[in-house]
């Protein structure tokens, strides 16, 4: 981002915070989620500074904002481009453990699940609710059945 884009983003973020700060319902969960979605749209992700500003604007604790983040998987705290969710449910787990380990190894993910290059987030879910087609992995919101780590990486690389 060049200097003018950074300044435009900062202005946009300030406008969003000012708008939500003036709302009577600013502390409601629905309003906080709306505000976080708009802030993410402006910046591309929710940085620690943005989360702190959002909590202050809403008049809630940062822990409340972090709890909301956990319930809204579409809100992201890193600028990754792709998300891989590996199902570890009863029908998928046994076969997907190796896929998960291979993805983590090849992408060199950190404790937060973000790849070394920052482009991919790898996480797990207890069930993706597509048991009939197990084993399943979700890549950028689309269910992929019976795909190897190599096949998954082919979808996010390039």
Question: Is 103 part of a structural domain of the chain?
Answer: yes
Assess whether 7 and 61 both reside in one domain: yes
Question: Is 122 part of a structural domain of the chain?
Answer: yes
Does residue 2 register a pLDDT over 70? no
Q: Which of 18, 38, 71 is the last residue of a domain?
A: 71
Whole-number pLDDT of residue 78: 83
Q: What is the pTM of this model?
A: 0.66
Question: Is 143 part of a structural domain of the chain?
Answer: yes
Cβ contacts of residue 138 below 8 Å, gap of 6+? 83, 84, 85, 87, 125, 128, 144
Domain span holding position 91: 82-156
Please give the mean pLDDT across all residues of the chain: 91
Which strands make up the sheet holding 136-139, listed edge to edge? Answer: 120-125, 82-87, 136-139, 142-145
Does residue 87 register a pLDDT over 90? yes
Whole-angstrom Cα distance, residue 114 to residue 128? 20
Assess whether 9 and 67 both reside in one domain: yes
Question: Is 77 part of a structural domain of the chain?
Answer: no
């Amino acid at each position: 981002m060049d200097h003018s884009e950074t300044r435009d983003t900062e202005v946009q973020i300030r406008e969003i915070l000012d708008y939500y700060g003036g709302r009577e319902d600013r502390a409601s969960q629905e309003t906080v989620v709306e505000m976080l979605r708009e802030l993410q749209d402006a910046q591309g992700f929710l940085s620690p500074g943005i989360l702190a500003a959002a909590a202050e604007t809403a008049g809630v604790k940062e822990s409340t904002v972090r709890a909301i983040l956990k319930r809204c998987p579409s809100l992201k705290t890193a600028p990754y481009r792709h998300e891989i969710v590996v199902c570890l449910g009863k029908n998928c787990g046994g076969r997907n453990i190796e896929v998960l380990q291979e993805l983590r190894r090849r992408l060199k993910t950190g404790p937060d699940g973000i790849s070394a290059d920052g482009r991919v987030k790898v996480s797990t879910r207890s069930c993706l609710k597509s048991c009939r087609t197990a084993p399943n992995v979700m890549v950028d919101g689309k269910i992929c059945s019976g795909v190897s780590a190599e096949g998954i990486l082919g979808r996010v690389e390039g």
